[in-house]
């Protein structure tokens, strides 16, 4: 007990000495703490715990609150005895806090930001990220045609770069490139024939000029009239969608329906594929996603009856657009193709002049097989336009030129991805530009 009492008395003496030193500085106007030193002196006789708490409060109160009110080492209060703290004196002048530094503190201290009423400063890189815009529609198209561009334009560039002179051998290799890129045999031969005549009559001795000539020829073929959907003057606008299984026909119908519902139109889908298992259910799912009503019958029923009921419902409900799905079938099956003819006759009987559009969905990855499909479907039901899907996954995008050039069928829509917005109107100039321009 005696030892503890001596330590307590010694500690009280140290705090009392510290308080006296503080009173002397206060008399000189150097510090104004929240706790008066006299109170500390008066508490020296109190239990040690109370005295130490009071001393620590005085030390905390004497610290500067704002950065611009910092005190130099000479202006600070004397430090507590070594048991409490260690002070390293310095002769450096007080640091001044600039407005920029205060702003920087607001970035990392949300609480300070709120107190100062300042807007938080964006973190490093956030402004650049905000300025970075999403890819444009053209950039996405160009990206989707990258495989076709590498297989067609890339090979053509490599051919020209390896030859110093444009001669018959170069033109022969160029013709092979065109055919293998699914431009079409007939169209490729015709294009090379025109190019040979142009070389004789013009000064087309440079690869860049020949490449530009081919580009203009392809653009001329694709720019034929009729590549836009032709809507009648009065509703409903009836669209019949045909194609073999696996080309993305039902998905195309769903995306096309979304385009119309996004424009505020009432869309009705006719589940005319009554043969494939779960075809009607799949169409109903799409109808729910895009906000379109679906007319369906039981599986295995007459598809022409579904079309009849759908058109009658469209008239009674004042629907703006009717899109009719049909069973996917091989184009070589004559009896199944006859069923399509019957459905088309029923449409014309219910609403004369319909369907206004007969869209054939083709898979671009099938290349020349797509060309034969287009030829037979066109003979059966009179195709008015082509929807070319999966262009983003093939090097055979040149089939667009073959379909238009050899069959005279306009490409009206193209699919360049799996997203809802990836079914796009076909723009010949944009397509050719995306095909020939790497970046």
State yes or no: pLDDT of 395 exceeds 50: yes
What average pLDDT is seen over the chain?
77
Integer Cα distance of 434 and 301 in angstroms: 45
State yes or no: pLDDT of 233 exceeds 50: yes
Question: For residue range 27-73, what is the model confidence (pLDDT) as tens digits?
Answer: 666 544 444 444 444 444 444 444 444 444 544 444 444 444 444 44
pLDDT for the residue 333: 66
Q: What is the pTM of this model?
A: 0.67
Q: Tell me the average pLDDT across 230-257.
A: 94
pLDDT above 90 coverage of the chain, percent: 35
Question: For residue range 197-218, what is the model confidence (pLDDT) as tens digits?
Answer: 888 887 777 788 888 899 999 9
State yes or no: pLDDT of 167 exceeds 70: yes
Four-point Cα dihedral 424, 428, 434, 435, nearest 10: 120
pLDDT for the residue 71: 41
pLDDT for the residue 59: 47
State yes or no: pLDDT of 14 exceeds 80: no
pLDDT for the residue 255: 95
Residue 306 C-beta-side C-alpha neighbours within 13 Å: 28
Nearest to 381 by CA among 424, 315, 327: 327
pLDDT for the residue 81: 45
pLDDT for the residue 335: 74
State yes or no: pLDDT of 119 exceeds 70: no
First to last CA, the chain: 89
Residue 422's contacts (CB-CB under 8 Å, 6 or more residues apart) are 140, 255, 392, 415, 416
DSSP assignment, residue 232? -
Integer Cα distance of 341 and 326 in angstroms: 11
pLDDT for the residue 49: 46
Of 153 and 61, more confident: 153
In whole angstroms, how far apart are CA 260 and each of 2, 239, 292, 297?
Answer: 96, 12, 9, 24
Of 221 and 165, more confident: 221
In which band, very low, low, confident or very high, does the pLDDT at 118 lie, cut at 50, 70 and 90?
very low
pLDDT for the residue 104: 42
pLDDT above 70 coverage of the chain, percent: 69
pLDDT for the residue 226: 81
Q: Which of 117-126, 285-294, 337-346 has the lowest mean pLDDT?
A: 117-126
Question: For residue range 324-356, what is the model confidence (pLDDT) as tens digits?
Answer: 999 886 655 667 788 899 999 999 999 999 999
Most confident of 101-105, 178-182, 257-261, 400-404: 257-261
């Amino acid at each position: 007990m005696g030892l503890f009492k001596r330590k307590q008395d010694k500690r009280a003496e140290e705090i009392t000495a510290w308080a006296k030193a503080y009173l002397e500085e206060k008399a000189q106007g150097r510090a104004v703490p929240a706790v008066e030193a006299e109170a500390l002196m008066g508490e020296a006789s109190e239990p040690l715990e109370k005295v130490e708490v009071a001393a620590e409060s005085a030390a905390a109160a004497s610290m500067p609150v704002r950065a611009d009110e910092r005190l130099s080492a000479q202006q600070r209060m004397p430090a507590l005895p070594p048991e409490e703290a260690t002070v390293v004196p310095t002769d450096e002048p007080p640091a001044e806090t600039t407005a920029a530094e205060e702003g920087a503190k607001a970035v990392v201290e949300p609480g300070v930001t709120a107190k100062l009423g300042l807007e938080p400063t964006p973190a490093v890189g956030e402004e650049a990220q905000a300025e970075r815009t999403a890819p444009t529609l053209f950039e996405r198209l160009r990206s989707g045609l990258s495989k076709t561009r590498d297989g067609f334009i890339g090979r053509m560039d490599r051919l020209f770069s390896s030859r110093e002179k444009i001669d018959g051998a170069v033109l022969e290799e160029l013709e092979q490139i065109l055919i293998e890129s699914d431009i079409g045999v007939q169209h490729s031969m015709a294009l090379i024939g025109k190019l040979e005549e142009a070389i004789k009559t013009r000064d087309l001795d440079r690869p860049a000029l020949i490449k530009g000539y081919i580009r203009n020829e392809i653009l001329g073929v694709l720019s034929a009239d009729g590549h836009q959907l032709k809507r009648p003057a009065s509703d409903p606008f009836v669209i019949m969608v045909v194609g073999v299984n696996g080309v993305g026909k039902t998905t195309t119908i769903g995306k096309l329906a979304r385009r119309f519902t996004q424009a505020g139109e009432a869309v009705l889908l006719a589940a005319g594929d009554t043969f494939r298992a779960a075809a009607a259910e799949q169409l109903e799912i799409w109808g729910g996603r895009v906000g379109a009503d679906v007319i369906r019958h039981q599986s295995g029923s007459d598809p022409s009856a579904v079309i009849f009921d759908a058109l009658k419902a469209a008239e009674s409900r004042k629907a703006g657009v009717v899109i009719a799905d049909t069973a996917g079938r091989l184009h070589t099956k004559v009896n199944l193709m006859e069923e399509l003819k019957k459905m088309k006759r029923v449409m014309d009987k219910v609403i004369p002049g319909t369907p206004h559009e007969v869209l054939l969905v083709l898979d671009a990855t099938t290349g020349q097989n797509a060309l034969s499909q287009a030829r037979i479907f066109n003979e059966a039901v009179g195709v008015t336009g082509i929807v070319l899907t999966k262009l983003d996954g093939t090097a055979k995008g040149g089939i667009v030129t073959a379909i238009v050039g050899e069959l005279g069928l306009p490409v009206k829509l193209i699919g360049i991805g799996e997203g809802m917005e990836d079914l796009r109107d076909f723009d010949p100039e944009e397509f050719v530009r995306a095909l020939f321009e790497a970046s």
